[in-house]
Amino acid sequence: MSLFEENECTSYDVPVGEGAFKTRNITPGQVQRVTVTDRGLDSYFKATVRIISCAHGHLETIQNVPSKPATLLVLEYRLHPKPGHSFSDVYTSFTFRGAESTVIAYAPFQRPHYWDKTPSTIVENRGVHGTIGGGLGPATVEGGGEASQEETHIQQHFAKGTADTHYCEETGLDDTVWWRLEDNRSQKHSVLEVFRVAVLIQRQSLADFVGTFRMDIHGSFSYLVSQVGGQVVRFFRRLAVDDPINLSPTKMPLQGKVDGLNVHSLGALMQDVGDGAGLYLPPAYHVHDFLPS
């Protein structure tokens, strides 16, 4: 791999300046802060989310006439549990309000994605049989334990990634996109520690709008209780709600990594894979190739 390719795979493509790790807007009107959330500096469960790309443009341009305004957001998640700890479940969402914003495509997990599969054999022993009698009177049950039968089947365990949009009854728009990662319950290897997501938003105007970010996590840690076994203790943690991200198409049309994007034809990033339009960015954005094959 060349040095250039290694640079393309670095954690963050956006320069981080002084104060960039704040998860509060420096001023109420701060536009598009780079760091969406940065939690748990001294915690066993460190979580950081940053904006890799924010491009405001249009879905398409025909004969120099632009169509619907649109915005592309690419986010990177970095989850850093300390040794012996793991993220077992991560749910994250973005809700957009203002400018009649609608989520029209997202990535990854247009379809559920499974990996890290492991099979296990389940043995069931059914040693009790019986009959139920009825009629006009009370029902009676007769049973015995002299018969025994074993059944075996294979139980699949796997890590899983899913995503979808959410409809808002108040506005009549699909204004929320969410992603969920679950670990393999049998292996407890943790969810992906680094991954990227992308969302394409159609707008009705060039007015400012906001994105409200949320993330809920399940975590676990293990400790030795004997020389031959261990125990897993689980917890649930809701991260505090950060300030909304202020998005302003007229003030900051481009931010972060925008190589290979045509902001005047963002709709070209959508592809129909048979169950609705998915979002497919150039490989350098690493939205899909961070996932296990």
Tell me whether residue 136 is in a domain.
no
In a domain, 105, yes or no: yes
What is this structure's pTM? 0.76
Of residues 93 and 116, more confidence is placed in: 93
pLDDT more than 90, % of the chain: 33
CA distance 109 to 278: 9
Bridge partners of 56? 71
pLDDT in tens, 263-282: 999 999 998 766 566 899 99
Residue 168 has pLDDT above 90, yes or no: yes
The residue length of the chain stands at: 293
Residue with tokens 């070209």: 268
The average pLDDT across 97-103 equals 95
Exposed (0-12), middle (13-18) or buried (19+): which is 154, by Cβ within 10 Å? Answer: exposed
| Predicted local distance difference test score (pLDDT) of residue 124 | 55
> Is residue 151 one of the residues assigned to a domain?
no
Rounded mean pLDDT, 193-200: 94
- Kindly tell me if the per-residue pLDDT of 24 is higher than 70: yes
Residues whose CB falls within 8 Å of the CB of residue 126, separated by 6 or more in sequence, listed in order: 148, 149, 150, 151
In a domain, 71, yes or no: yes
Residue 66 scores a pLDDT above 90? no
User: Distance from first CA to last CA of the chain, Å, rounded?
Assistant: 19
pLDDT for 220 equals 65
For residue 238, being part of any structural domain is answered with yes
The beta-strand segments (E) located in 108-202 are 113-126, 129-133, 140-144, 149-168, 173-182, 194-202
Could you give the number of structural domains in the chain? 1
* Full domain range(s) for residue 36: 3-113+160-285
Structure confidence by residue, pLDDT tens digits, 134-166: 444 444 445 555 555 565 545 566 789 999 999
Which residue would you say has higher pLDDT here, 42 or 288? Answer: 288
* Among the ranges given (72-76, 81-85, 101-105), the one the predictor scored with the smallest mean pLDDT: 81-85
Residue 173 lies in a domain: yes
pLDDT at site 146:
52
- Give yes or no for residue 116 having a pLDDT over 90: no
- pLDDT value of residue 162: 93
Does some domain include residue 118? Answer: no
Task: Give how far the C-alpha of residue 66 lies from the chain's centroid of Cα atoms, to the nearest Å.
Answer: 31
Answer whether residue 32 is part of any domain: yes
Query: Is the pLDDT score of 188 beyond 70?
Result: no
